[in-house]
Amino acid sequence: MRLFYFCIFAKKQKEMIDSVRSTVLTILNKNNYGVITPADFNLLAKKAQLEVVEDIMFRRNRAVNEENARVSGTGVSDKTRELAEDLERLVVFENQLTQNGTSQSKYFLPSISTTQDVLYSLQNVLCYDDSGFVGEAEKVDYRDLVRLRMADLTPPTSKYPVYVVSGDSIHVFPETYNSANSVKATYIRHPRDPKWTYINILGGAPVFDQTINDYQDFEVPEKYHDSLVVKILKDCGVVIREAEIANYAATEEAEDQQVN
């Protein structure tokens, strides 16, 4: 990729967000395209990170489907594992869900107010009794739930529970799962908003300072450094009204997609 020629190799920053911003500014300054403020950079960094996570999720789901359908090559299991590893720092494992007071067998989905996380994708709902783990609940919709509860042979049981999503909560069946410790979930949370923090230098440019309380680095692996740069550059073309930047970044992104 041509982008590599712009990257700063002499002094690689430990914090990826500072390295990404430095690379973006280098490319913008190289052709006198203009500047991007720290506030604008942070907004574009948030958008770019979400796009990267969405792309990882899409490629992982596609690889899983291909693996299950046995229509892919022998390397797909490695690809599936690699993409899953890219999401590892966003996975919250077996977190206790909070009961919804309207029903003992209803539990709030992960949120800032209940688990301090913003839910991205629910992976597993796990049910427990006094003896420990019993089984994983299967997700069904309300129509399937009605059929299951009416069936003689296939109603939900304590060993084979099910759940339905209802607004900001899940409802678990059978309703014997109704205590504060009955239900846990493994889920992928939204990445935290990246924030490049700085101190003001009188008469000079802002200087990166990661010791400020609201500092937040990117939460995707280092290998997505250049993808983040390209996505931010593409949006910089809109912010500072330089079509050439947006076109350059779009070309780089198309080359990335061909590789993946």
Contacts (Cβ under 8 Å, ≥6 apart) of 153: none
> For residue 189, is pLDDT > 50?
yes
Give the containing element (helix H, strand E) for 249.
helix 243-259
> For residue 135, is pLDDT > 50?
yes
What band does 11 get if pLDDT is binned at 50, 70 and 90?
very low
The C-alpha angle with vertex 128 and arms to 125 and 131, in degrees rounded to 5, equals 160
Among 192, 174, 170, which Cα is nearest to 123's?
170
Handedness of CA 146, 151, 157, 159 (dihedral sign): negative
Question: What global pTM score does this model have?
Answer: 0.79
Query: Could you tell me where the DSSP H helices lie in 104-239?
Result: 142-150, 225-239
Q: Which two tokens stand for residue 92?
A: 């919250």
For 38-72, the pLDDT digits (tens) are 999 999 999 999 999 999 999 988 888 877 776 65
pLDDT at 113: 93
SS3 255: helix
Q: How far is CA 112 from the centre of its chain?
A: 15
> For residue 252, is pLDDT > 50?
yes
Residue 119 · residue 110 · CB < 8 Å = yes
pLDDT at 111: 95
Q: Which two tokens stand for residue 144?
A: 């399937």
pLDDT at 8: 38
Cis peptide before 194 (omega within 30 of 0): no
Residue 243 · residue 34 · CB < 8 Å = no
Paired residues of 20 in beta bridges:
none
pLDDT at 255: 59
> For residue 10, is pLDDT > 80?
no
Handedness of CA 55, 257, 24, 18 (dihedral sign): positive
Q: How many residues would you count in the chain?
A: 260
**What distance in Å separates the CA atoms of residue 1 and residue 254, rounded to the nearest whole number?**
11
pLDDT at 253: 58
The CB-side HSE value for 102 (13 A sphere, CA atoms) comes to 9
Residue 44 · residue 233 · CB < 8 Å = no
Average confidence (pLDDT) over 112-135: 94
